[in-house]
Amino acid sequence: MIFIGLLSIFLGWRIWKKEQITLIHDYHYARVSEKDKKTYTEKMGKACIIGIGCILMGIITFISRVRYGVICLVIFLIWGLIMMYLAQKKYNGGVV
């Protein structure tokens, strides 16, 4: 889980800071205007905070063997998906 979390954070950083919109599937940004691409990549990159939940889950589960790690994962997963949905709706006109 820690590796998956680090990969998610790395990809989010590349999308956000390097504005690599091509890391997102092309139909997700097909209707994003040129002037909104910077803001869109910023929001989509920040939405990759899902990786933080994966890392916390891996660490907490390794240390304590209790289900608190799953709770962290679910919280960050829902938070990240909501952020992605809102960015898609605003800049691409919808999820599909």
DSSP type of residue 87 = H
Separation between Cα atoms, residue 61 and residue 70, nearest integer Å: 8
Q: What is the pTM of this model?
A: 0.84
pLDDT by residue (tens digit) across 51-69? 999 999 999 999 997 889 9
Identity (one letter) of the amino acid at 18? K
pLDDT by residue (tens digit) across 38-53? 999 999 999 999 999 9
Separation between Cα atoms, residue 59 and residue 79, nearest integer Å: 20
